[in-house]
Structure 1
Amino acid sequence: MLLSADSCLTALVFASDMLGMGVFALQNDLKHIQFRDSFCIFRCYVGVVSCTAFNGSFLLQAVYRYFIVVYPHFLFCYLWPIALLFTGDIIYNVDNQIYQLFICRVVPI
């Protein structure tokens, strides 16, 4: 929830900054004003910082989802066969000359 709120807040800051820059540029274009002020530099700085924070919040969400969803499954895929080694579920079938894994206890054909 906090990660989504972070993304929403940075999106709101970025959108309001872009709207402010657009309105400022439109007003200066309509009045034919061609100077830059210190507030223009500040708006550009806020735009770059908020865009970087916006992308960073998406990166943070992706890392969180990786560790919550993918990483435990990845560990399970490696640890589950190790448990089969120690419980004796892998049996050598002499007739077919292969190792068989019996997940459920049934008679092989």
Structure 2
Amino acid sequence: MVANIESWFIPFDVFMIICISLVVILAIIFLIIIIIDRACHTVPMMLIANLCLAEFLFGSDLLSMVIFTLRNDLYQIDHDDIFCNFRGYLSYVGYALQNYCFLLQSIYRYLTVIYPTDLFYQSTKFQCFLICLTWLFSFIYAIPFISMNQIKFNLDNQICQMPLGFSFFGIYTALCIYGIPISLIMMVYFKLVQYVKEMNKRAMATNILMRAERELKMLRRTVIIVLIIIIIGLP
């Protein structure tokens, strides 16, 4: 059996390789800048570096998947390779990591506004603990996909992924990747909106109010980015 390759598949694969390569390169550049520049050695920048590292992992995996797809399209190959399932596993890990990185940024902004004097929750140690927790969860939650042989080779898309459809693993994946982080981000956002509205009603110091509004504005941008990613990522 030979894969049915449309004429536009190969240019599209090349375009995807270029775009994803740019993302990976930018992630590396930002990571290097954050590591080298001492002015960037702050908790907010550490969270940005965490996102860049997650994007580097996710982007590298996607790049590997697209290169594999291009190879199959060029030579009309209709089977996977030994790393296909692992790439599929990493794609679920990377997607989850990406969303949980946004969640950590949202939580930090919430803590700096609601608990400005409680430095423990804003400390590097506590944020590192949360970062390690999200990375650990992202790698562990997807293990059943490999151990229970849920990731299959999709001939039409030339990638290894779980079959789309209503199933336990489909619900489980949606909950871990979308449900938990997105619902928490939205909850943090609306609580911060409510808090800022309450501050406007009170006689609060101008600098405190301005800081809260600034953090709310940044969190609103995070929400918009996450929603765009969700829309793009929907099957």
TM-score, normalized by the shorter chain, greater than 0.5: yes
Query: Which residue of 112, 115, 119 corresponds with 1:68?
Result: 112
Query: Which residue of 41, 45, 57 corresponds with 1:13?
Result: 57
What percent identity do the matched residue pairs reach?
A: 42
Structure 2 unaligned runs (5+)?
Answer: 1-44, 117-194, 204-235
Matches of 1:32 and 1:19 in 2, distance apart? 19
Q: Which structure is higher in RCO with an 8 Å CA cutoff and minimum separation 6?
A: 1
Matches of 1:20 and 1:72 in 2, distance apart? 43
Q: Which structure features the higher share of strand residues? A: 1
Alignment of 1:45-64 (within 5 A): 45-64=89-108
TM-score (norm 1): 0.63
What's the offset of the Cα at 1:4? 1.1
Matches of 1:53 and 1:72 in 2, distance apart? 26
How large is the RMSD of aligned CA atoms in angstroms? 2.4
Q: Which structure features the higher share of helix residues? A: 2
Amino acid at match of 1:14: F
> After TM superposition, where is structure 1 displaced by more than 4 Å over at least 4 residues in a row?
none
State yes or no: 1:23 paired with 2:67: yes
What's the offset of the Cα at 1:37? 2.8
Structure 1 unaligned runs (5+)?
Answer: 82-109
Question: How many residue pairs align between the two structures?
Answer: 78
What's the offset of the Cα at 1:38? 3.3
Deviations 1:33-73 (CA, angstroms, capped at 9, x unpaired): 1112331010011011011011101101101101102x148
The residue matched to 1:33 in structure 2 has which SS?
A: coil
Amino acid at match of 2:109: R
